[in-house]
Amino acid sequence: MKSSPQEPADITIAESDIVVPKKVIREGLLIFLLAAIQFTHMIDFVIMMPLGPQLMRVFGISPKEFGLLVSSYTFSAAVAGFLSALVIDRFDRKHALLGLYLGFTIGTLACAMAPTYELLLVARILSGAFGGVLGALLLAIIGDAIPEKRRGAATGKVMAAFSVASIAGIPIGLYLASQTSWHAPFYLVAALSFIVLLVGFFFLPTMRGHLSNATSESPFLVIRNILRIRNLQWAMALTVALTMAGFFVVPFISPYMVANVGFEEAELSYIYLFGGLATVFTSQWAGRLADKHGKKRVFAIAALLSILPILAITNLPPVPHYIALIITTFFFIFFGARFVPAMALITSTVEPKLRGSFMSINSSVQQLSAGLGSFAAGFIVKESATGALLHYSWVGFIACAITIVSVWVVRHLKPVS
């Protein structure tokens, strides 16, 4: 929808009203549905990491093989993200979202039913192919439907679904796994995903506003043009730095807490419970602070402060559990506080007609970075004869160095929409 040449230059139409008219769905309801999808997606993604000690014991696998299990999801998502970038902006956002979510639900059910390590690896590849693109599409919808001045707060609310997953989903999943088997959490996520899929089918609005300005160029030409835009190159560089800094550390938090700090497998849920309780509030505060004081400034402060818990958690000796939980909680607080303004800023670096394609490419870059981070960490971290993990501090130092690089990178981003 474009203004005619006769219209005054100062008359504009809110981007969000073009893409998702307010008479179709209220902004709050849209954010709630997106957060519900993000909730199930995040449980499926992160549950693998706290299940690490049990999976390593049940399947008799090494840290390197466990790292492959985590990274297989992200590598698959990286490939799917690139392929989806060829066509995703040519579909109604609702149809694309529900189609991907259906594939994700089927993939999660396959994980639940996998009887061996090899079949679980295949199932993770399947669920990653759909689930990895979901996160990108959710951010594209936020970018389409929410004005830039409220985009940080909206991103914070949707990203807070990770916190809710940590508070409710992960502890429940770990409890079910400890009482029955590791299959149970995936059955739970598959069931929840099916319910959310039905709700989304009936209540999500059609979202076709981006199609009014859709380009007629070849999809490969669109991708080539996207990759040539300097601003988007910096956005992807920030994604690489931010993701690798996290995934050098995160996959081995649970195995390290069990093998080196003295946690029982059943006690791991407390790490995610307290971390999630804190970030449910701090992620939203970070979003509001980013809207008020500037996304770059809030990101830089949160990123630099995150170095302290990174160093603490990767060098932690056997300590009382309450000390370990304080450190892990601060890790999650600053991990989320830097992620929210970064994602809101990245979403704003691309114009609406290219947003879906770019966010899919960026998701591909993000998932590839996560896979490389966790896979590389699997080669660095070793298991001693006594079962303790060695060299975890090395990945902490690497993560801190990459975090500092991300603070330099974010200065080059320029919002355009």
Ramachandran class of 215: left when φ > 0, alpha when ψ lies in -120 to 50, beta otherwise = beta
Rounded-to-integer distance, Cα 23 and Cα 39, Å:
26
Reply yes or no on whether the pLDDT at 184 is more than 60. yes
Reply yes or no on whether the pLDDT at 181 is more than 80. yes
pLDDT digits (tens, 9 = 90+) for 317-374: 999 999 999 999 999 899 888 888 888 888 888 877 777 678 777 877 877 787 788 8
Higher pLDDT, 153 or 126: 126
| Tokens matching residue 156 | 């914070």
Rounded-to-integer distance, Cα 242 and Cα 257, Å:
23
**H helix runs in 63-218, sequence order:** 63-84, 93-113, 117-145, 148-159, 161-164, 170-179, 183-203
Phi and psi dihedrals of 214, rounded to 5?
-65, 140
Inter-CA distances, 305 with 175, 230, 247, 298, Å: 32, 28, 17, 11
- H or E stretch including 326? helix 321-347
In sequence order, the β-bridge partners of residue 383 are: 389
DSSP code per residue over 214-279: ---S-HHHHHHHHHH-HHHHHHHHHHHHHHHHHHTTGGGHHHHIIIII---GGGHHHHHHHHHHHH
Q: Dihedral, CA atoms, 324, 325, 327, 329, nearest 10 degrees?
A: 160
Instruction: Say if strands 382-383 and 389-390 run parallel, antiparallel, or are unpaired.
Output: antiparallel
Rounded-to-integer distance, Cα 316 and Cα 263, Å:
12
Residue 368: count other Cβ atoms within 10 Å of its Cβ: 23
**Listed residue (133, 127, 67) closest to 366, CA to CA:** 133
**Do residues 32 and 203 touch, judged by C-beta distance below 8 A?**
no
pLDDT bin (cut points 50, 70, 90) of residue 71 is confident
Higher pLDDT, 86 or 241: 241
pLDDT bin (cut points 50, 70, 90) of residue 105 is very high
**Do residues 30 and 145 touch, judged by C-beta distance below 8 A?**
yes
Rounded-to-integer distance, Cα 13 and Cα 17, Å:
7
> For residue 387, what is the DSSP state?
S
| Strand residue runs (E) in 279-402 | 382-383, 389-390
pLDDT digits (tens, 9 = 90+) for 27-58: 777 888 888 888 888 888 778 877 888 888 88
Higher pLDDT, 363 or 97: 97
> For residue 211, what is the DSSP state?
G
Give the pLDDT of residue 319.
Answer: 93
Reply yes or no on whether the pLDDT at 18 is more than 60. no
- Residues with Cβ < 8 Å from 195, sequence gap 6 or more? none
Report pTM: 0.67
